[in-house]
Structure 1
Amino acid sequence: MVTDAEELSKLDAQTSRLLSEAIDLMIRRQDAPDNPVTLQTIANWRARSDAHDRIWQRVAEAHGLSGIALGQSDKSRIMSRRNVILGGVTALGAGALSSWAVPEMRLRMGADHLTTTAELLPIELPDGSAMILGPDSAVAISSTRDMREIRLLRGMGWFEITKDVDRPFYLDMGNGNFARMAGATFEISRDAGMLNLAVAQNSVELTGGSGHVVEAGHWVRVDQRSSLFEEGERDPSFAGAWKNGVIVAEAEPMEALVARISRWIPGRVIVAAPSIAHTRISGVFDVSDPLRALEAAVRPTNAQVRRVPGFLTVISSA
């Protein structure tokens, strides 16, 4: 019997496969833009399903190509597979380091909604539910007649899920971690390999092994590398406080808290002192001034925050 978690994992694998096929077809078109066989092959591939066509459109958009341009000759743009990926990432405003570019390209191609630094994005879901996507975050949305699903590809979100016992809502939180509910209000974040979930109303069931039910006024934290599980109680009103510019931390590993605050800071934030990364930090941090919030978060470790020209922030030992 195929479990819900296995079914959702198949959907993620399918997206990766379709993206790879679309990139290969893009390369074939660039090598032979006037070849009728290539153009027909692309047309047939796109017509196979809505998912095929959606992935193709995203690959095309990454290169600034409209539907008309894809039917025109462009012999000047001959690309290798590597250039297709890196060129698309550059067009999307991302860096050009290949070790970072390939997963970033895949994330952008698979996401339905993306946010940038310090951006909060309200989203109305197809079933009438609502969410707020946090800064530097990404989600993919899909629904069937029997199931509602969102994949949190990166970052954080606030969810207000409409109750429907006949169509449960599934949240794929990555690394085999899933949540299921008929309806609930909660926040979720993925930061430096740490998964945090806090419930404000109703309850959320964790699937994929633990079967743990998180009730309103409770939080759980899962280390996605070691599967270490922690839980506790907290005033439900603190859930999603970041929507109002405040981050609440309770005995949280510093590297995870730094990663969350960093979503409000332009550029990259690096913890250059691994010895302090796992120090537990508690407190309330005002991200209306994110650099001051970052300094306050690392102060218990006596670490220093240095802003380097070129959008880089380094946290190092004093």
Structure 2
Amino acid sequence: MLNINSSEKRNNAAIEDAAKWFVRMSNQPVSTVLQKSFQQWLDESPLHFQAYQQTEQLWQDLHAPAREAARSGWHRRKQQSFFTFMPAFKWASLAAILVMLTTAGALWRDAGLLQRGFADYAAAPGSYSEFTLSDGSHVYLDGDSAINEKFSPDERHIELIRGRAWFDVTRIENRPFKVTGGNARIQVLGTAFAVELEPDLTKVTVERGFVTVHASNFDASTFDDSINLQAGESASVAQNQIAYIDGDDTEISLAWKRGLIMMNQTPLKTVLEELSKYSSGRIVLHDTSLENLPVSGVFQTKNPDAVFDALRTTLKLTVVRVPGLMTIIYR
């Protein structure tokens, strides 16, 4: 499916190597040995030099605002003044700055880090979590997902705070199972269903049994505040609106639970949002005009690189990966 000729392979390898060299050469000071190795790599092929130039230009495009701020010298002036008049706090302040920079970098690479860190149950990007709650209900959390649990004698309450989760609920009479997420409130007694937080709405898909879905915020004069779903049905809940999703295929909607990414003319923006659940580091689409490019295919969630390869070969996009840090996509 992913046929890449030798020329494309060499070009892709050069781009990925250029990104790695850019990171190394940006960490000052650069040793003589490293500078010599870098020059040798540049001299090996014209492709290397071209790829490095492209990487430099792309980085400049992404960080133009930061360069403007740096030129003002505000950070140097404040640093000099602080250390001149408060030398006793010099090293403590430096350590604090390093901690803040490290934390900011971690949050930039992984936007869900804090939410998952403070959640009762969570799964990091590229992983999943399966567990059983105290009532016997089974939960499956997809990558970059998190929930909080609050059980009482009267009810069982789960809050989906990030990502998506699948629930197989143990039926307990007079003790309903409730899930809240975004603007949606879901109530069941015993059934199997999934709840997914998307950028602008919450999606609910029923695999077995019956589910009642409520909208937390709604205009009663225009919209109904709740609908009932049965097996094979889905609904979306956005601010002031709740609706059935016509023509939704449960098999495709729940493919993620089977470790699959299924796309059928799916906009590139949506595909990249999906990939962020399974790939480490931030994914950056450099050109927003590419957001609606259609993508089709079936891939395994444990192998997101196959999707990036397909973007290279099918859509002729350039994909630059800096492992653990970021992936940049452009044309």
Q: Same fold (TM over 0.5)?
A: yes
1:199 has 2:206 as partner: yes
TM superposition score normalised by structure 2: 0.57
Q: Give the alignment partner of residue 119 of structure 2, picking from 84, 104, 111.
A: 111
Q: Give the alignment partner of residue 285 of structure 2, picking from 260, 264, 271.
A: 271
Kindly report the root-mean-square deviation, in angstroms, between the aligned alpha carbons of the 2 structures: 3.9
Q: CA deviation at 1:130?
A: 0.3
Q: 1:257 — aligned with what? A: 271
Partner Cα separation in structure 2 for residue 117 and residue 110 of structure 1: 16
For the 8 Å contact 2:311–2:317, the answer to whether it is kept is no
1:127-166 superposed matches below 5 A: 127-166=135-174
1:223-262 superposed matches below 5 A: 224=238, 231-234=245-248, 236-249=250-263, 253-262=267-276
SS in 1 for 2:104: coil
Structure 1 pair 97–264 and aligned structure 2 pair: CA distance change class (3 A): closer
Partner Cα separation in structure 2 for residue 105 and residue 264 of structure 1: 14
- Counterpart amino acid of residue 275 in structure 2: I
For the 8 Å contact 2:107–2:113, the answer to whether it is kept is no
Q: CA deviation at 1:122?
A: 0.9
For the 8 Å contact 2:163–2:196, the answer to whether it is kept is yes
1:183 has 2:183 as partner: no
Partner Cα separation in structure 1 for residue 106 and residue 205 of structure 2: 35
Q: CA deviation at 1:249?
A: 4.3
Q: CA deviation at 1:313?
A: 0.8
Q: 1:305 — aligned with what? A: 319
For the 8 Å contact 1:264–1:287, the answer to whether it is kept is yes
Between the two proteins, the alignment pairs up a number of residues equal to: 233
- Counterpart amino acid of residue 271 in structure 2: L
Partner Cα separation in structure 2 for residue 150 and residue 233 of structure 1: 28
Structure 1 pair 96–275 and aligned structure 2 pair: CA distance change class (3 A): same
Higher relative contact order (CA 8 A, sep 6+): 2
Partner Cα separation in structure 1 for residue 186 and residue 265 of structure 2: 23
- Counterpart amino acid of residue 135 in structure 2: D
Q: 2:235 — aligned with what? A: 220
For the 8 Å contact 1:168–1:180, the answer to whether it is kept is yes
- Counterpart amino acid of residue 190 in structure 1: L
Q: CA deviation at 1:105?
A: 7.0
